[in-house]
Amino acid sequence: MNISEYTPFQDPDSLYVVNEELAADEELRGANLLMSFTGFSDAGHVVTQISSELKEQLPAEPLAVFDIDQLVDYRSRRPRITFTEDHLSDYRAPSLVLYKMADALGTPFLFLAGSEPDLQWERFSHAVLGLVERFDVNLVAWVHSVPMPVPHTRPIGATVHGNRPDLIEGISAWKATMDIPAAIGHLLEVKLAAAGRNVVGYAIHVPHYLSDAEYPPATVAGLEFLGAAASLMLPSERLREAGRAVERQITEQVEGSAEVATVVTNLEKQYDEHSDGVARRSLLAGDNDELPGADELGAAVEAYLASRDAGTHGGSGS
């Protein structure tokens, strides 16, 4: 048997339950799908913050709920519970849900978020691919974050991968060939590409000395990449404000420690030497690498909405 043609012994569809009433919404046909999974690499808590921000700031309805008991090893990744004086409360059960969502302009999209499966990766990936086919998803975009030897004083970088050259070329700040531990997002990307579906992944670079704490600037970068790739207006104002506060705290700490200041200076020098002469484009930038102004963004939004009204967006072949 060719391993690339492997199919699960058990029906992948039995891994989840679909809200059929929501699934009947024709607006979901050809929508884009965003994905984020906790439990793999979440430097700066980027994945966790993106998931929380999207679900808190945008309307979200569970479209498909996965049977988490079949996918998670509770003893290797124990859920949290609160002990308060003489009783237990606030048990945080793991979950994995496909949400129906809409961005700030009301554009519908899908969001698959929750705990990375410990078990049944092949079966789970076939289940996700089945959902992608069912809703004829136009583009799948996913994000995770990795610690990197970069300074917080330079732009947030990303390593981009997938099968959409227009979303990849000129963006990756770091390129290499190496064996790495796989995540479920990686496997899904491979399966989706093999099935001829559009897919792109973003590994956000977080300064390694900030990777254990929440680092909102990296989360904002992740949201910007996802939003630009999927033509969505995703919320980031709260995170931008939080990021400014974090940056002020970091500046105070750097100024108060000669040792830390030296580390940052060395990283800046290394970053600048590596970046010298390397032009990287932004998904939001024009041909001259200048970010669009308010009028240009407004015109682009109007044009996009007009194209949606004319029924020209979506479809797996785009």
pLDDT value of position 313: 43
pLDDT < 70 stretches in the chain: 1-6, 173-175, 276-318
Which residues lie closer than 8 Å to 54 by C-beta, 6 or more apart? 34, 60, 101, 111, 113, 234, 235
Q: Are 189 and 161 in contact (CB under 8 A)?
A: yes
Q: pLDDT value at position 304? A: 41
Q: List Cβ neighbours of 178 (8 Å cut-off, separation of 6 or more).
A: none
Spatial contact of 67 and 235, defined as CB atoms under 8 Å apart: no
Per-residue pLDDT tens over the stretch 271-315: 888 776 555 554 444 444 443 434 443 444 444 445 444 444 444
All structural domains of the chain, each given as residue ranges with its CATH number in brackets, are 3-309 (3.40.50.10900)
CA gap 231, 24 in Å, rounded: 23
SS (H, E, C) 33-79: EEEEEECCCEHHHHHHHHHHHHHHHCCEEEEEEECHHHCCCCCCCCC
For the chain, the C-alpha Rg in angstroms (whole number) is 21
pTM (two decimals) = 0.83
What sections of the chain are H helices per DSSP? 20-23, 46-57, 121-134, 165-168, 184-194, 216-230, 237-255, 258-275, 294-309
Q: Which amino acid is at 306?
A: A
Per-residue pLDDT at 168: 87
- Residues 92 and 154: beta-carbon distance below 8 Å: no
Spatial distance between the Cα atoms of 31 and 250, rounded to a whole number of angstroms: 39
